Structure 1
Amino acid sequence: MEFSEVLRHRRMVRAYRPDPVPDDVLRRVVRVIRRAPSAGFSQGHRLAVITAPDVRARIAAISEGPYVEAGLPAWISGAPVLIALGIREASYHERYQEPDKLDDGAEIPWPVPYWWFDSGALLSLLQLAATAEGLATGFFGPGDHTQFAEVHALTGFPAGVALAGILTLGYSAEDPAAPPSGSAGKRAKLPLEELITWRG
């Protein structure tokens, strides 16, 4: 699939077919973690690939209620794969305390917490890789701190890896000609002039 086609087909999906994702396909998607940018090549990204039905059901039981109450289908429980995106912040501090990254002998002050910024870049790469494989994705974060802690415990991440959110992955059950099921299907796109500033 051409890159322009991958971009055109990438969308948030909230309905999945029950078909399992073949292991080789899933491995090709998640291996993009090696291509994801990280400040100073800190490599603080972590993924937990969750296919076990009981674990997926427990995560859905914690997280899905607000979506169903808003009239959406039970899409989290319907996804055959959940991928937890984790961030190990310590990897960034360790890297920026190495001699080639010190600023006057000290770690930089981090005006932007790039471990979170980089997790968004990884999310985009995962979505594009999944789209190129004919898969669909969605994304959610559990509703509050307690729910995040409960889902974190189910991911298998150690205490030093924070949960950024969960990618849902599978084969779409949505009509590709229909508007997106989430906010993108309900709101107009802003004009490019409002989104891009040119300083030429």
Structure 2
Amino acid sequence: MDFSDVLRRRRMERSYTDEPVSDEAILRILEGLRRAPSAGFSQGHRVVVVTDPKLRQEAADIAEARYVELGFPRWIASAPVHLYVCTREDSYHERYNAAGDIREGYSEIPWPVPFWWFDCGALFMLLQLAALNEGLATGMVSSVYTDELQALADVVNLPDDVSLAGIITVGHLDDTVKTPVPPGAATRRPNEELVEWRR
């Protein structure tokens, strides 16, 4: 698939068929993990792959209510694969402290950008594009509520030192279901509003 086609198809989908996703396709998607950037090669990324229907339903039970309230049909459990995109912040502190990269006046390097979260975003995009390259559709589940995010993490028993950024839903697109557009949904701004040049 041409990369421009992959970019055009990159969107959050909320309808899946019941066709399973092969383990081989999942493993190819997960190759993106090895190519994901991490500050100082800290390698704090963690991914949990969930195909168990019971665990997928547990995640849906926690996170789906707000989507239904917006007019979306139930969809989270219908995705045959959930990829829990996580980070281990301590990996970054361990890496930079071991490297001796400590600035004067700091017990550790300053972190004006928490790169463990920044790198999670990069990993998310790589995994999503890899899934699209496999001909699969993806969506995203997360929460702005700490207790809900923790409940989602508890579904897969994440260790205490690993934090969940969100869940990528993966499956075959059911294009017979038209995803409703919620009232007040934002439209895409033109690049001219988002990009500045310094020549």
Q: Judging changes above 3 Å, is the alpha-carbon distance between structure 1 residues 192 and 42 closer, same or farther for their aligned structure 2 residues? A: same
- For residue 121 of structure 1, what is the aligned residue in structure 2? 122
Contact 1:12 1:139 in 2 (8 A): yes
Q: How many residues of Structure 1 are paired with residues of Structure 2 in the alignment?
A: 197
Instruction: State how 1:163-182 maps to structure 2 within 5 Å.
Output: 163-174=164-175
Q: Does 1:12 align with 2:12?
A: yes
Contact 1:16 1:78 in 2 (8 A): yes
SS at match of 2:167: strand
The CA deviation string for residues 41-75 of structure 1, in whole angstroms up to 9 with x for no partner, is: 00000000000011111111111111012110111
Contact 1:13 1:174 in 2 (8 A): no
One-letter amino acid of the structure 2 residue matched with residue 198 of structure 1: W
Distance 2:126 2:181 in 1: 20
Distance 2:53 2:74 in 1: 15
- For residue 2 of structure 2, what is the aligned residue in structure 1? 2
Distance 2:174 2:144 in 1: 25
SS at match of 1:101: coil
- Which runs of 5 or more residues in structure 2 are unaligned? none
Distance 2:150 2:11 in 1: 28
- For residue 137 of structure 2, what is the aligned residue in structure 1? 136
- For residue 44 of structure 1, what is the aligned residue in structure 2? 44
Instruction: State how 1:35-184 maps to structure 2 within 5 Å.
Output: 35-99=35-99, 101-104=101-104, 106-142=107-143, 144-174=145-175
Distance 1:182 1:45 in 2: 33
Contact 1:16 1:79 in 2 (8 A): yes
Q: Judging changes above 3 Å, is the alpha-carbon distance between structure 1 residues 188 and 150 closer, same or farther for their aligned structure 2 residues? A: closer
- For residue 199 of structure 1, what is the aligned residue in structure 2? 198
SS at match of 1:165: strand
Q: Judging changes above 3 Å, is the alpha-carbon distance between structure 1 residues 4 and 67 closer, same or farther for their aligned structure 2 residues? A: same
Distance 2:64 2:78 in 1: 10
SS at match of 2:119: helix
Q: Percent identity?
A: 47
Q: CA deviation at 1:15?
A: 0.4
Contact 1:142 1:151 in 2 (8 A): no
Q: Does 1:188 align with 2:167?
A: no
Contact 2:37 2:119 in 1 (8 A): yes
- Report the TM-score, using the length of structure 1 for normalisation: 0.91
Contact 1:62 1:142 in 2 (8 A): no
Q: CA deviation at 1:122?
A: 0.4
Q: Say what the alpha-carbon RMSD is for the aligned residues.
A: 2.0
- Which runs of 5 or more residues in structure 1 are unaligned? none
Contact 1:13 1:136 in 2 (8 A): yes
Contact 1:14 1:181 in 2 (8 A): no
Bigger Cα displacement from structure 2, 187-196 vs 28-37:
187-196
Contact 2:53 2:77 in 1 (8 A): no
